[in-house]
Amino acid sequence: MKNALILARDWIVERTGFDRVWEVLFERHVPEAKGPAAWLYTLGSASLFVFLVQVVTGSLLAMNYVPSPDHAYDSVRFIGEKVLCGSFIRGLHHWGASFMVVLVVAHMLRIYFMGSYKYPREGTWMVGVVLLLLVVGLGFTGYLLPWDQKAYWATAVGTNIAEQTPFIGPLVAKVLKGSSELGAATLPRFYALHVLVLPAAMLLGLGVHLFLVVWHGISEPPERARRPGEAP
């Protein structure tokens, strides 16, 4: 049995290069940070973990959600009252969205104040900015899905703000609303953006971002310059 497992492992390694992938991803050099600053280096991984939680909980919610103006509100109530653990899953998804925005912003602030966006990691920084915008877009498009008064009017305010953008504002607002006014065409459009377009863009952006992180490595923690004659 042991020999069979070894042969199976060797067969997989030779044909997939899994050992090299493991070495690159999990055995690479990670800078040593001491004290409270060490926790700041976990913000990126925490953001990725919360995103995966959002994917799982969102998929479970989508199984019972109906993206129709006539049934959206009732389907949300059904999830909270009738579906097994539905209220817990919806709460996890709802608060996870806010928590993810906080984590991503904190991660980017850490990158900025520690100078980790500088050469050769400018591309990593720019992709991270795009990911932040996608996270905000996911939160915005998901807010309308319960189709209640709070969600409706909050979305109305958001689309009106987008409409004030110079030159392209009216076009952006019309694309978001699906018509000149916020109505029945808006809900399925926001749903498609929330569960198809933006998650696909997030996965693509995350793939590029993680590749660049592995390629360039994680930046070393900044150190205070020693004064002349100061002991190390």
Residue 8 lies in a domain: no
pLDDT, tens digit, 9 for 90 and up, residues 47-59? 999 999 999 999 9
The number of distinct structural domains making up the chain is: 1
Listed range (20-29, 43-52, 137-146) with the worst mean pLDDT: 20-29
Q: What is residue 33's predicted lDDT score, i.e. its pLDDT?
A: 67
Those residues whose C-beta lies under 8 Å from the C-beta of residue 65, and which sit 6 or more positions away, are 72, 75, 76, 79, 145
Per-residue confidence band for 183, with pLDDT thresholds at 50, 70 and 90 = confident
Residue 16 lies in a domain: no
Q: What is the DSSP letter of 226?
A: P
Per-residue confidence band for 145, with pLDDT thresholds at 50, 70 and 90 = very high
Q: What is residue 44's predicted lDDT score, i.e. its pLDDT?
A: 92
What is d(CA 65, CA 144) in angstroms, rounded to the nearest whole number?
13
Q: What is residue 179's predicted lDDT score, i.e. its pLDDT?
A: 82
For residues 178-198, give the mean pLDDT.
Answer: 91
Residue 2 lies in a domain: no
pLDDT, tens digit, 9 for 90 and up, residues 39-86? 888 899 999 999 999 999 999 999 999 999 999 999 999 999 999 999
Residue 163 lies in a domain: yes
Give how far Cα 166 sits from Cα of 137, 174, 178, Å. Answer: 19, 14, 20
Q: What is residue 24's predicted lDDT score, i.e. its pLDDT?
A: 66
In CATH, what number is assigned to the domain containing residue 150? 1.20.810.10
For residues 23-52, give the mean pLDDT.
Answer: 80
Phi, psi of 94 (to 5 degrees): -65, -55
Residue 23 lies in a domain: no
pTM of the model: 0.86
Those residues whose C-beta lies under 8 Å from the C-beta of residue 34, and which sit 6 or more positions away, are 221
Those residues whose C-beta lies under 8 Å from the C-beta of residue 113, and which sit 6 or more positions away, are none
* Contact by Cβ (8 Å): 189, 220: no
Residue 128 lies in a domain: yes
Domain enclosing residue 133, as ranges: 44-216
For residues 151-179, give the mean pLDDT.
Answer: 90
Residue 152 lies in a domain: yes
Q: What is residue 222's predicted lDDT score, i.e. its pLDDT?
A: 72
Phi, psi of 40 (to 5 degrees): -65, -25
93 alpha-carbon distance from chain centroid: 12
What is d(CA 36, CA 181) in angstroms, rounded to the nearest whole number?
50
* Contact by Cβ (8 Å): 115, 219: yes
If one compares 31 and 78, the residue with the highest pLDDT of the two is 78
Residue 187 lies in a domain: yes
